[in-house]
Structure 1
Amino acid sequence: MGKKIVVVGGGIMGLSCAYYLSKEGYRVQVLDKSAMDAGASYVNAGYLTPSHIIPLASPGMMAKGIKWMFNSSSPFYLKPRADLEFLKWAWYFHRSSTSGKVEHSIPIIAKINVLSKQLYQEMHDSGDLGDFQLEKKGLLMLFKSRKAGLQELEVMKRVQDLGLEARELTPGELSAMQPGLSPDIEGAIHYLCDAHTTPNQVMEKMKSYLLAQGVEIHTGTEVTGFSGTGDTLSGVKTSVGDFPADEVVLASGSWSPKLVRSLGLKLSLQAGKGYRIDMHRPTPVQYPAILMEAKVAVTPMEGFTRFAGTMELSGVNHNILKNRVAAIAAMGSDYYPGLDFTPAELEGAACGLRPVTPDGLPYIGRVRPWKNLCVATGHAMMGWSLGPATGKLVTEIIAGRPTSMRLDGLGPDRRF
């Protein structure tokens, strides 16, 4: 029998790790304190985004955060609070938001995104999960101001330099592709290198596949600590008992810093709350799009259209601010005139917590001093896109094989 591996966390990261680890012949157990039917892996925009090469920590972002700090409906909301870990994270974020560090991050983000998109395709082609939505219509970046358009043109050129397909659309081309847009939209960039999925669909199919392969999934199982001696962990302690382990994978998203404290580890990470509104009726939306000035993502999924967005740094909680939901709806109606949200649709809004590192790069890899602990978290708004790549890399690390890409810059114990 292969090694027994305990994966802490049942979101897209944890399930992707379980997927590749089980294929390697390991005995895998997934632990999650929830029912595994909600959260960031279920409420995201479903994008696979090789085009998203700029990290959240970029020049000007902290200034925007401070500017919007007292506006709880703003796209990037930093809730003022006297929390030492948050203040440290904010300082590290500020230090990471330089042109030089962004330049360092761009090729790393591009490589892991391209790898992950390829793995989604392989997963789809393998038939392991049955059929699931994987559409390659690309992604539209819609802008109303020329300033926003010029900024995105610069990103487009960088994306093209990396060998990825993207182009600027003329107003006529945009109108033909996506009717029903507001006439004050000045233009769009079409990232043909991107794709989209329906997250809920993929998550349910992934769970069914893993169970059929013998992977144990334990819901309602809260991790309370770890056991081990020296530099080796021997198991995971939970609310329902202990789980012996030869290897432990920490894929617990925004809850990761709290879980590793008992191991003497510190992960600088903040929960970035995102919201979604689903519209289960016909809409004019034919292409995935990001409404640039509004920072809202729109996705035509299987059976419904999703409007998702905002980054709210307010701690680990699932409190829904109705003004933020209303802001997403207002922007949706603004870019797609005549698209009115019903009270029931607004009331049905949900949120999820995305783990955000100070430099916008995920934590993937071993973490000292523990020789059998692997961390897989901190993917922020690219979590859905990067799930398979992370699972593949974690499996290669545990198997002792060369990784599919270099892990420079992704170490969990890096300094900011």
Structure 2
Amino acid sequence: MSKKVIIIGGGIIGLCSAYYLQKEGHQVTVIDQSNLDSGASYVNAGYLSPSHIIPLSAPGVMKKGLKWMFNKSSPFYMKPRLDLDFLKWTLAFNKSCNSKHVKKVIPTIKNITLLSQDLYEDIKRDENFSFHYEKKGLLMLCQTDKALEDEIKTARLAKKEGLDAKEINLKELKQLEPNIELNVKGATYYKCDSHTTPHEFMEEMKTHLKKKGVIFYINEKVEDIEVENQKISTIITSKQVLKADEFVLAAGSWSTFLNKKLGLNLLLQAGKGYRINTTNQTNILIPAILSEAKVAVTPMNGFTRFAGTMEIAGINLNINKVRVQAIADAAKGYYPEINLSAEEKNNAACGLRPLSPDGLPYIGKSSKCKNLTIATGHAMLGWSMGTATGKLVSEIISEQKRSLELDHFNPDRKF
């Protein structure tokens, strides 16, 4: 049965939800407070990464976070502040930072990222899209023995999960990257990973959805929500009043504001990440993560992107030049031939990634609101999980068999 569905949020999760919902015959409207040309869906590293099986809430992360709390150039920075939501999230995050939790969620993360990777390929083929997509794998580059030891352990764990992952020596690394100097001790290689150029996918998807009759309201903020008998009856935006049968909350880091209006208990924090693009020839062939610096490197269509850092400092889009410089320094440190210019650093952009405390997204319905499907909290894996999340949202609303088990994504889960 066709339903009228309103999606709040026009990032990768919102657009993929719209894609699968309209395919099922639903009448879909997307509302976003931005112009739909910026944010995390446009500045991310473009990875489709089954390799990223370890959640952000891993053993030792909280300890590192506290150590780095007063270092604004550190890879993982939490701005200390007296805020109740931040304190609740921090306590829940700390509780999740253990090996038992990591072991439990690895198959869940692997399964949704593998499904999502397949769905990107299906969309490209089925819709005759031309967005840049390559399956060259992902390198984890290490400058220290300790980092290399940790990455080898993770690669072995991934291999046990059936992923194509292995340690490679410097000779093998040179064969993969013959045209650029690397200042590293070793690496691991995940042949299972793919990469894209994000804005190309987003632009093609928006054009396609408009042709299919999806309505877009941009530069329009949802200001209030009316609920009757545990169901949303009306949403009030900065420009109009709208009604629908079903609603999807896919507003990323901004979901927390609507979360409060609906009386939900989604613990979310915004994690800011930065990117620097260079159109200069870098000769980098394979996407890589600079392990110690936590910087992602992606050869995209016509440029190379350096992206990284996790800055938990509330909802703001201010550019911290210290953190931008840290990314540029890391690029130079691992690739000595690369010098990012002052102009390139001045043109750096940022995006906010919605972080749940346990490193898993919220996907599904809450018992507190019967006609709301929640799809947020994907942390650094929003791009990697985008298509699969959209398909799951459509299956929930269309009352179809789910492609994946949803228990670990339950929005009402306790921390």
Q: TM-score, normalised by structure 2?
A: 0.98
Residue 11 of structure 2 corresponds to 11
Q: Please name the residue that 1:299 is paired with.
A: 298
Residues 138-177 of structure 1: CA distance to partner in whole angstroms, max 9, x if unpaired? 0000011121111111111111111111122121110121
- In the TM superposition, what whole-angstrom CA distance separates every residue of 1:242-291 from its partner, at most 9, and x where no partner exists? 11110000000001111121211121000000000000121121110000
Partner of 2:394: 395
Q: Which residue of 2 aligns with 1:51?
A: 51
What are the Cα deviations for residues 85-129 of structure 1, in whole angstroms up to 9, with x where unaligned? 10111110000111111111111101101110010110111135x
Q: Which residue of 1 aligns with 2:21?
A: 21
Cα distance in 2, alignment partners of residues 187 and 354 from structure 1? 30
1:409 alignment partner, SS class: helix
187-196 or 174-183: which moved more? 174-183
Distance 1:238 1:362 in 2: 26
User: 2:154 aligned with 1:150, yes or no?
Assistant: no
Q: Name the structure 1 match of 2:210.
A: 211
Deviations along 1:353-396, one digit per CA (max 9) or x if unpaired, are 00000000000000112111000000000011100000000100
CA distance in 1 between partners of 2:234 and 2:126 (Å): 33
Q: Report the Cα distance in structure 2 between the residues aligned to 1:183 and 1:391, rounded to whole angstroms.
A: 38
Deviates more, 1:345-354 or 1:96-105: 96-105
Contact 2:10 2:30 in 1 (8 A): yes
Distance across 2 between alignment mates of 1:312 and 1:182: 30
Letter in 1 for 2:8: V
Aligned partners of 1:242 and 1:281: how far apart in 2? Answer: 48
Q: Which runs of 5+ in 1 are unaligned?
A: none
- Which residue identity lines up with residue 275 of structure 2 in the other structure? R
1:234 Cα deviation after fit: 2.1
Query: Which stretch of structure 1 is more off in the superposition, 343-352 or 162-171?
Result: 162-171
* In 2, Cα distance between equivalents of 1:136 and 1:254: 29
Shift of 1:235: 2.6
Q: How many Å apart are 1:181 and its aligned residue?
A: 4.9
TM-score for the superposition, normalised by structure 1 = 0.98
Provide Cα deviations, 1:195-234, integer angstroms capped at 9, x if missing partner.
0000011101110000000000110110012123102212
- The residue number in structure 2 matching 1:382 is 381
Q: Which amino acid aligns with 1:162?
A: E
Report if aligned partners of 1:6, 1:249 keep a CA contact under 8 Å in 2: yes
Q: Which amino acid aligns with 1:346?
A: K
Deviations 1:274-324 (A, max 9, x none): 000000121121110000011000000011000000000000000111010
**Cross-structure match for 1:42:** 42
Counterpart-to-counterpart distance in 2, 1:366 and 1:231: 12
Distance 2:204 2:183 in 1: 41
1:184-203 matched pairs, under 5 angstroms: 184-203=183-202
In structure 1, distance between residues paired with 2:172 and 2:155: 17
Query: Which amino acid in the other structure matches residue 200 of structure 2?
Result: Q
Deviation, 1:184, is 3.8
In the alignment, which residue of structure 2 is the partner of 1:111?
Answer: 111
RMSD of Structure 2 on Structure 1 (CA): 1.1
Q: Is the 8 A contact 2:140 2:187 kept in 1?
A: yes
1:260-275 residue pairs with structure 2 within 5 A? Answer: 260-275=259-274
Q: Is the 8 A contact 1:180 1:337 kept in 2?
A: no
The 5-angstrom pairing of residues 239-318 of structure 1 reads 239-318=238-317
- State the distance in 1 between where 2:99 and 2:203 align: 40
Give the distance between the partners of 2:143 and 2:260, measured in 1 at CA: 46
Structure 2: distance between partners of 1:265 and 1:164: 36
In structure 1, the residue matched to 2:164 is: 165
Please give the secondary structure, in 2, of the residue aligned with 1:29: strand
Q: Which residue in 2 is equivalent to 1:373?
A: 372
Q: Hey, what does 1:66 align to over in structure 2?
A: 66
Q: What does residue 83 of structure 1 align with?
A: 83
SS at match of 2:140: strand
- Equivalent residue of 2:267, what SS? coil
C-alpha distance in 2, partners of 1:15/1:332?
Answer: 32
Structure 1 runs (4+) deviating above 6 angstroms are none
- Cα distance in 2 for residues equivalent to 1:411 and 1:344: 44
Percent sequence identity over matched residues? 53
Once residues 299 and 237 of structure 1 are traced to their aligned partners in structure 2, the CA distance between those partners, rounded to angstroms, is 40
Q: Which amino acid aligns with 1:16?
A: C
Instruction: Give the equivalent residue in structure 2 for 1:33.
Output: 33
CA distance in 2, matches of 1:324, 1:155: 27
1:112-151 map, 5 Å: 112-128=112-128, 130-151=129-150
Deviation, structure 1 residue 182: 4.8
Is the 8 Å Cα contact of residues 274 and 354 (structure 1) preserved in structure 2? yes
Name stretches of at least 5 consecutive residues in structure 2 with no aligned partner: none
What's the CA shift string for 1:59-89, capped at 9, x where partnerless? 1000000000000000000111111110111
Task: Tell me the SS of whatever aligns to 2:402.
Answer: coil
Letter in 1 for 2:231: T
Determine if contact 2:139/2:190 at 8 Å carries over to the other structure: yes
1:246 maps to a residue whose letter is D
Q: CA deviation at 1:409?
A: 1.1
Point out the more displaced range, 261-270 or 212-221.
261-270
How far off is 1:179 after superposition? Answer: 3.1
